[in-house]
Structures are given as C-alpha cells and as structure tokens.
Structure 1
C-alpha cells in the first residue's frame, strides 16, 4: 500500500501523457481515515468509467453495533448511506472538466425500494465499510488531465466520505428512523403467517404513483382506508399501533370500475415483497415475500415445463408434461408462469385480468355448451384455483373488471370505489346466486414434476470470457443470447437485471452440467451469495459490477426465459 502523497506525486508525473499512463495509478493508497483503491482504470475517456473503492474500518466509521447487527438493520443502514453518498457525489459530478466521461462521479442510484447492493457493503461484525463507485478519469482529448483527477481524489471524494461514512457527521435521527422502519417492516412480514394473511395494507398508505415513469407518491392522492370487516391491528416495535387491511389467505377478488384503483392496489402488493423508504407512501404495504405476479407472455421461451395441470391433449399430440416451445401463446405462457412460480416456492399469486389470457382464466357457460370440454385442451385457472390453495397452500389475489365468474369461488371480494376499498363478499355472492356457477372439474391434477436439469451450453465450455450486457430493466444479453425480462414485473431496478445476468453466467460455468435440477442450481446460487455476497458472483473482487439482490423467484424467472438453457 502506498500513501496519498505518493499518489499525488504520481499524478504530477503522468500529467499531459497519453491516456494509457493512467494504468499506473491502479493500486491502494492510504488517505486520512480510509484506504482508496483504484481497482480498474478505463482504457480511454470515452470507455466505461474507472472503478474505485473506499475502504474504512468500523472503528473509524463509528456506527453503533445495534445499527447493523442483523441483516434487516445492516441492509437498511447500507441503503441509507448509499443514498447519502449519492447525494454528495452528485453535487460534484462533472465539476472536473474534460472529454468523454471525464469528471463523472457515480454510485448506485437507489429507487423507492431497499435492496442489498454491491455498491455499499458493511461487515455485520466489525462494521468495516466498502463503498464502490465509478469515476471518469479526466482527459483533454486522449491526453491525461491529472490536475482535474487530483481535484476529484483529493477534494471532492474526501468530502463525500466525510459527509456519508462517519456516524459523527450523519443525521442520527434519520439513521435511527431508517433502521426502525426496517425493523417494523420485518415485523409485519413475520406476522403475516401467524395472522393467516397474504398481505397487509396500512391505513393512510398512498398507493398511486406520481406518473407512469415516476415511482414517487402522487400528491393529493386518496389515502388508503381499510374496510372495517377486513381491518386488522398490529403493535409494531417502533411505530406502535398500526391498523390496515389484511388480505387473508385463500382467494381474494378485487373488483370495481375502470380507473377506480384496482390495478394500483395490485401494483402496490406486487412491490410489497420489498421494504420501502420513508416517504414512499407504501412503507407499510407488506406482501408475502414469495408472491409472484402472473400474466400472459406471448412469444416467450418455455423449456420442458410440466403444464399438464392446465393444458392436455393438444391436437398435435405435443407432450405437455415436458412442454417445449420457443414461441408460447398467451394461455401456454400463463400456464407455464403459474407452474414455474410453484417451482420457485411461491405462496401467493397476483393476477390482473387486463394482462391475462382470457381462455386461460375462464370458459363461460355458453362456450362450454358449444365447445364441449372434451374438445378443449385448456383447463382454465378458475377450475384449479381452489386446488392450488387447498392442496399446495398457494393463495391468489385477482383483479377483475369485466367477468364475474370468480364471484362464486372467491373467499373475499373487495370493491375499489374511487380508490376507497369496500368489502362486498356477502352482497356479491348473493347476486351471484342468480347466475349459474361454471361447472368445475371433479378430479385434481397430478402434482407438477420439477425435474429439469440444465446442461452446459456448448458455446461456454472452456470459455472464460462470457460477454454480458444489461438492457435496463428489460433484459440482459449473454454473448448473443438475449433474455427478455420485460414481463417479470417485480424486477424494480436495472442492477437486479445485471445480477441476474451474473447468476446465469456463474451457473453456466459452475452448476450447469445435466445432472443438477434447476431448483438445486438456485439453491447453490443463493448459498454462494449468502457466503460471499453478491460480489462473489463477479470474476474478480477488484472489478465488482453494480449489482442489486434479486429474489429467488426472479432468478427462476430469468433461467426460465433463457433460450440458451440446455435441457
């Protein structure tokens, strides 16, 4: 390790040289209170920025042990400090001048959700901190401008560290508030099972968002207020008494007119699998952590998935116990999505009529009379929904606006009326008595078989260089193979997509071999992440990518949409 003075002298020596001379700066340097590590130096000012990390001992940072003693607390503190560092760094971005990405100072930009990230790591025993960021090393054309980099490393970065990484300079009330909120959210999630609930939506929650492209709460929105019949009350460790709507296990139907808040409520439940920051409006919207949003997904790849629970006796004789297609229809894709959610361990399914295949969801009485059941290979979801709950313990929340077919079988029916929920189970079922229920199946389906064992793609055998490119939240490209994740709607951050790409890449190199089932592959990946953190998926600890933790369910979803998966 060298001193900061030696780094300064080095910068003076290479000033005005060709850009490749910046490579000489790679290494570690002792600054006052922390170690600066220059981990990767960009090839030219227009390339991806250089990767830099700050390492600080826990004793120097000074955060009390109770703020990071458990996963919940540590994750909340990391998230809070990442946001603080981002604000400080943003105020200095591009103040150092030059061509290309010169002057960029960047750390992960956090959204409304609290996620584990590689950008900020804190040891839960010692409190040691590692912050990973990107810096555009300044240049004039392709000539080093070391004086500008000196500003970044000796003026701007130390100020960011001072404002963000020391407990003495933090707003202690806000830090404590972030930890308390995380503990309250964890408490609610832990109470769902005991209370027989799939989800909880607190009174006063703000569910509508500012716009279709903004995740922030809408100003002037109607606060959520639970119907008295569904209201439950909890005593939280920090907030104290909190009441709200408990969505009970079983089958819940959400109905109402267009633009009355049905899909808004469902969207809040989808993202309730994550903790949220204070001020989001959905801090106390908590959903079973395994819940999966299900929709039709025309054109997706399906690899040897057992969809026989829903689809059988296809006219072309195609095997549906190991169904394979590169261009799924709406019904087959939705059937596969349900079965794959079961494989991933989901205990709740979230479905919106608007994004579902009609022939998968229902077949009305007239259609059943005209087209006899023997002529129809699809067993609609309405015939299996009760079986999913009673046999497998999987609850379902369905948003419906046009079909009343589910009134007969729903356990709870909630009407959204101008964003205000009403419990209408009794009156809806009474009205449904005037309409015949659709005839159901008498025999339950065989339990789906989850035996898929991915083999290694021949293109990757002995190949240590697997190229990867993230395309926002829409997907990831592995070499020339694109994985379309547009309709995996519970992905909330592009860094989760990047992490999913690394999961595929790591599994290709280490786990895919033809004898390990997909479930075991995901188990091994999760164990790897538990032991080494997300950074352990990267090839080198000195060149860690910007990753955010995906759920187990999204890892499955990514594998299932990977057309290069060899089965």
Structure 2
C-alpha cells in the first residue's frame, strides 16, 4: 500500500497532463487514521464521476459494539453515518473548480426509510467502516487540474472522515437513541405474529406527508388516535409502553368519505414494511414485512403465471394456468399480481379500490343475476378473499370509498373521519343485513402452480457484459429491454431499482438454468446478498454501484415484469 505522500507526489507529477493520466492514481493510500482507495477513474471530466472509498479500521472509528452487533442495529448506524458524511460532503461539493463534473463529491442521499446500502458498510466482526462515494476529478477542459484534486483529497475529505466516521466526534447520545429506536421497531415487528396482528400504528403518529413530492411529515398534521376497540399496548425495550391501533389478521376494510385519510393510512401501511428515521412521524407504524400492495397494471407483461384461481374459461380458449400476455388488461394484471404475491410469500395484501380493476374486485348481486356465473370467466377477488385467509393465511386490507360489497365478509371495518379512525364494524354489519349476500363459488380454487423455471435470455448469450441503466424509481434497463417498475409502489429509493437491475444481471449469468424455479432462484439471490452483501452482486469490487436493499417481494416483481423472461 502506498502513502498519502506518494499520492500527493503523483498528482503533482501529472498536473497539466491529459486527463487519462488520472488513471495512474488508481490504488490504495494510507492517510492518517484511514485508507483512501481510488477504485475507478472516470475517462474524462464529463463522464460519470470517479469512484472513491474510505476505509476506517474498527479500532480507529471506535464505535461501541452494541451499536452494530445486530443486523438491524448495524443498518441503522450505517444509515446515520451515511447521512452524517453526506452533510459534511455537501459543504465541500464543487468548492474545487473545473470543467464538467469537476469538484463533485457525492454519495447516497437516504430518504425517510432506513435501508441497507452499499454506500456505507460496517464489518460486524471488526467494526471496520467502508464509505463509498463519487468524486469528480478536476480538470481545465480535458487537462488535469491536480491542485484542485489535492484540495479535495487532502483538505476536504479528511474533515468529512473525522467529523462523520469517528465515534469520539459524534453525539454519542444521539447514536444511542437511534439504536434504541431501531431496537424498539424490531421488537414491534417481531411480536406482530404472536399478537395475531399484521400491522401496528402508534397513537401520535403523523401519517400525512408534506406534499405529493415530499415524504417528510406534514407540519401540523393531525396525530393518529386508535379507536378504543382496536387499541393494543406494547411494552417496548426502551420507550416503554406504547399504545396504538393493532390491525388483526383477516380481512380489514377501510372506508370513509373522500379526503378523510383512507389512502394516507394505506400508504403508511405500505411503507411500514421499512423502519423510519426519528422525526418522520411513522417511526412506530410497523407492517408485516412481507406485505404487498396489489393494483391493476394495464399493459404489463405476464409470463406463464397461473391465474386460474381468478380467471378461467376465456372465450378464446386461452390457457390461464400458464397465462402469457405482452399487454395485460386491468383484471388479468391484478389477478397475476395477487398470485405472484402468493408466490413471493406475502402474508398481507394491501389494496386500494381507486387503483383496482372493478370487474376483478366485485360483481354485485344484480350483475350476478343478469350475467350467470357460467358466462363470466372472472371469479372476482371478493369471492376468493376469505379463502386466501383460511387456506393460505393471507390477510387483506382494502380501502373502499364507493362500494359496500365487502361489508358482509370483512372482519373489521374502520371509517376514516378527518384522519381519525373509527371502528364501525357492528354498525356496518347491521346495515349490511338489509342487502343480499353475494354468492361464492362452491368449489375451492386449485393451488396455483409455482413451478416456473426461467432460462437465461438468448439476448445475453455470448456477451460478457450486460449493460444496465437505472431510470429513477420507475424502471431499470438491461441492454435494450426496459423493465417497467412504476406500479411496484413499495419501492422507495432509486438505489433499490439499481439493486434489482444487478439481481437480474447476476441471475442471467449464474442462476437461470431452466431447472430452478422462481422461489429457488430468488432464495439463492437472497443468500448471495446475505453472505457477500449487496456489493457481491457486482462483477468488480473496484466498481461497486450505489445500491439499497430491496425486499424479496420487489425482486419477484422485477422478474415478473421482465418481458425477456423465458419460462
């Protein structure tokens, strides 16, 4: 390993030379208290920035082991260090001048959710910390400006490292509070099952967000208060007794007038699969971490999915046990989404009437009389929802604003009134007695076939490199194929989409052999990420992309929306 002095001498030597000479800097350099690793050097000042990492030994960083001994604690600490380092780096971004991306100092910018990221990783045994960032190596035109890079690497970066990665320079009390919150959140999450719950929302939570483009809490937002009939209390390890609304397993219906908070509540439950930072307002909104938001998705690709539980005997004789289409309708897409959710191991489905296909969700009593069951290929969700729970243990939470059809079969009915929930189960059930009960199929549905065994796409054969591009949170592109993820609504960060792209690329090269089914493939991917972290998906340890951990459910969703999937 070379020294910091060696790097300084090299930079002085290549100053004013052509930009490609920067590539000579690639390597590791010992700085006081940390190692600087220049992992990948950009080709010119207008290209993607250079990748640089900092490694601080555990004994130097000196964080107490109790802050990172458990996985959930380590994720919380890594998240906080990322935020701290980012705040420091922002002060120095573009303070070094030059053309193109010269002077850029950038790393992951976490939102309200706490996610494991490649940006900052703590080695659990030693406590060694690695922080990865992008730096725009300065240039004048396409000529090296080494003096400005010396300013970044020798003046700016040491300040960022010292203020963000050394325990002695951080607020120990704040770090302890972050760890305590993570432990309390984990306690709730791990006790949902034994309490017979699928979700918990603490009293005092702030669910409304600042705006449609901001996930920060609304100022002066109405605090959540549980109906007395649904209150449960948990004794948390650090905060102590916390009371809130416990949503039990089974079928829960959320109703109410427009703009009273139905969808706001559902959105909080969707994102309750992740932990949130202190001050978010949803710190104690905890949902079963397998929960899946289900919606209609016109135009999506479906490859050999067994939707026969909901759709059968199509007039054109099309197979619904191995259903394929490049342009799904609302009903077929939602049916596929439910079945794929089952395949992914979801124990809770979250559905909003506003984004559902009406003919998939319900058929009222009059329509059943006029159009006989024998003439309708769709078995609506309302006729299978109890079967999903009783036979498969899958609960459902539905938001409904216009149809009362689910009143008969719901176990709990909650009315949102000015963002405050009311338990109206008894009253709604009594009113429902005056309306006819919908008939349900006499026969139970056959267990869906989950034995799809995808093969590697021929588009990638003979190619060593699969080009990948992330399009925000909306899509990932593999070579020329775009996987549309706009309606996979529980993706919360573009870096999760990047990780999904790497999952797809790794699977294409190593896992899709036509013998493993989807569950086996994704289990192997999870094991790979658990063993080698997200960085293990990258082909080169010197060019690790900024990624955030996706859930198993989103990995399934990405595979299922890949039009090039060969099953």
TM-score by length of 1: 1.00
> Partner residue of 1:184?
184
SS in 2 for 1:379: coil
Is 210-219 or 6-15 further displaced after alignment? 6-15
Report the CA distance between 1:479 and its aligned residue: 0.1
Report the CA distance between 1:513 and its aligned residue: 1.3
5+ long unaligned stretches in structure 1 = none
SS in 2 for 1:421: strand
Q: Provide the C-alpha distance between the structure 2 equivalents of 1:519 and 1:191, rounded to a whole number of angstroms.
A: 26
Report the CA distance between 1:437 and its aligned residue: 1.2
> Partner residue of 2:243?
243
Q: Provide the C-alpha distance between the structure 1 equivalents of 2:365 and 2:33, rounded to a whole number of angstroms.
A: 74
> Partner residue of 1:278?
278
> Partner residue of 2:17?
17
> Partner residue of 1:264?
264
Q: Provide the C-alpha distance between the structure 2 equivalents of 1:441 and 1:312, rounded to a whole number of angstroms.
A: 13
Q: Provide the C-alpha distance between the structure 2 equivalents of 1:242 and 1:518, rounded to a whole number of angstroms.
A: 40
SS in 2 for 1:121: strand
Report the CA distance between 1:247 and its aligned residue: 0.4
SS in 2 for 1:244: strand
Report the CA distance between 1:27 and its aligned residue: 0.6
Report the CA distance between 1:438 and its aligned residue: 1.1
Q: Provide the C-alpha distance between the structure 1 equivalents of 2:64 and 2:220, rounded to a whole number of angstroms.
A: 39
Q: Deviations over 1:20-79 (max 9, x none)?
A: 010011011000000000000000000000000001110000001111101011111000
> Partner residue of 1:113?
113
Q: Provide the C-alpha distance between the structure 2 equivalents of 1:143 and 1:343, rounded to a whole number of angstroms.
A: 55
Matches within 5 A, 1:350-389: 350-389=350-389
Q: Deviations over 1:133-180 (max 9, x none)?
A: 000000111111110000000010000000100000011111111111
Q: Provide the C-alpha distance between the structure 1 equivalents of 2:528 and 2:220, rounded to a whole number of angstroms.
A: 45
SS in 2 for 1:265: helix
Matches within 5 A, 1:535-554: 535-554=535-554
Q: Provide the C-alpha distance between the structure 2 equivalents of 1:462 and 1:239, rounded to a whole number of angstroms.
A: 57
Is 459-468 or 87-96 further displaced after alignment? 459-468
Report the CA distance between 1:382 and its aligned residue: 0.2
SS in 1 for 2:92: coil
Report the CA distance between 1:239 and its aligned residue: 0.5
Q: Provide the C-alpha distance between the structure 2 equivalents of 1:327 and 1:5, rounded to a whole number of angstroms.
A: 61
Q: Is 1:307 the counterpart of 2:313 in the alignment?
A: no
> Partner residue of 2:558?
558
> Partner residue of 1:522?
522
SS in 2 for 1:91: helix
Q: Is 1:467 the counterpart of 2:467 in the alignment?
A: yes
Matches within 5 A, 1:419-434: 419-434=419-434
Matches within 5 A, 1:490-501: 490-501=490-501
Q: Deviations over 1:369-398 (max 9, x none)?
A: 111111100000000000000000000000
5+ long unaligned stretches in structure 2 = none
SS in 1 for 2:199: strand
Q: Provide the C-alpha distance between the structure 2 equivalents of 1:11 and 1:509, rounded to a whole number of angstroms.
A: 39
Q: Provide the C-alpha distance between the structure 2 equivalents of 1:222 and 1:73, rounded to a whole number of angstroms.
A: 30
Report the CA distance between 1:18 and its aligned residue: 0.7
Q: Provide the C-alpha distance between the structure 1 equivalents of 2:35 and 2:189, rounded to a whole number of angstroms.
A: 38
Q: Is 1:3 the counterpart of 2:30 in the alignment?
A: no
Q: How large is the Cα RMSD of the aligned pairs?
A: 0.5
> Partner residue of 2:476?
476
Report the CA distance between 1:459 and its aligned residue: 1.8
> Partner residue of 1:410?
410
Q: Provide the C-alpha distance between the structure 2 equivalents of 1:136 and 1:177, rounded to a whole number of angstroms.
A: 35
> Partner residue of 1:333?
333
Q: Deviations over 1:461-499 (max 9, x none)?
A: 231110000000001000000000000000000000000
Q: Is 1:54 the counterpart of 2:51 in the alignment?
A: no
Q: Provide the C-alpha distance between the structure 2 equivalents of 1:321 and 1:174, rounded to a whole number of angstroms.
A: 54
Q: Provide the C-alpha distance between the structure 1 equivalents of 2:420 and 2:400, rounded to a whole number of angstroms.
A: 16
The count of corresponding residues between Structure 1 and Structure 2 is 567
> Partner residue of 1:175?
175
Q: Deviations over 1:247-286 (max 9, x none)?
A: 0000000000000000000000000000000000000000
Q: Provide the C-alpha distance between the structure 2 equivalents of 1:224 and 1:441, rounded to a whole number of angstroms.
A: 39
Q: Deviations over 1:392-446 (max 9, x none)?
A: 0000000000000000000000000000000000000000111111111121100
> Partner residue of 1:77?
77
Runs of 4+ in 1 over 6 A off after TM superposition: none
Q: Deviations over 1:496-540 (max 9, x none)?
A: 000000000000000011111011000000011111000000001
> Partner residue of 1:486?
486
Q: Deviations over 1:67-102 (max 9, x none)?
A: 110101111100010000000001110000111100
Q: Provide the C-alpha distance between the structure 1 equivalents of 2:100 and 2:156, rounded to a whole number of angstroms.
A: 19
Q: Provide the C-alpha distance between the structure 2 equivalents of 1:393 and 1:44, rounded to a whole number of angstroms.
A: 56
Q: Provide the C-alpha distance between the structure 2 equivalents of 1:566 and 1:421, rounded to a whole number of angstroms.
A: 46
SS in 1 for 2:54: strand
